[in-house]
Amino acid sequence: MKTLQSKRFLVRKSLINTNTVIEVTFKNGKSAKYNHDDAFACMKEKLEKMNCWEKYKSYTSSTSIPVAVRSVLID
């Protein structure tokens, strides 16, 4: 299992099925940890409708964890 440090929440096509754990620390000091594959599964339907997913093959948020993903955060 690979761990990735980030300053923003992210989901990328290149990380699907890699069993990567992402540890994110936002500018406001809050942090969270999540499994990328679990986050993708929660957001898949929404992501496939977004322009950023088609154009950049990723989705990011620099301020918070999306509500749909909060249920799969790792303590």
Number of domains, the chain: 1
User: Within a domain: residue 45?
Assistant: yes
pLDDT at residue number 70: 96
User: Within a domain: residue 75?
Assistant: no
pLDDT at 75 over 90: no
- Whether 15 contacts 36, CB under 8 Å: yes
Residue with the two structure tokens 């620099």: 62
pLDDT at residue number 28: 95
pLDDT digits (tens, 9 = 90+) for 1-52: 899 999 999 999 999 999 999 999 999 999 999 999 999 999 999 999 999 9
User: Within a domain: residue 32?
Assistant: yes
pLDDT digits (tens, 9 = 90+) for 56-74: 999 999 999 999 999 999 9
- Cα-only R_g, the chain: 11
Is the Cα dihedral 41, 16, 1, 33 positive or negative?
Answer: negative
User: Within a domain: residue 12?
Assistant: yes
User: Within a domain: residue 51?
Assistant: yes
User: Within a domain: residue 23?
Assistant: yes
pLDDT at residue number 32: 97
Instruction: Name the residue range of residue 65's domain.
Output: 3-70
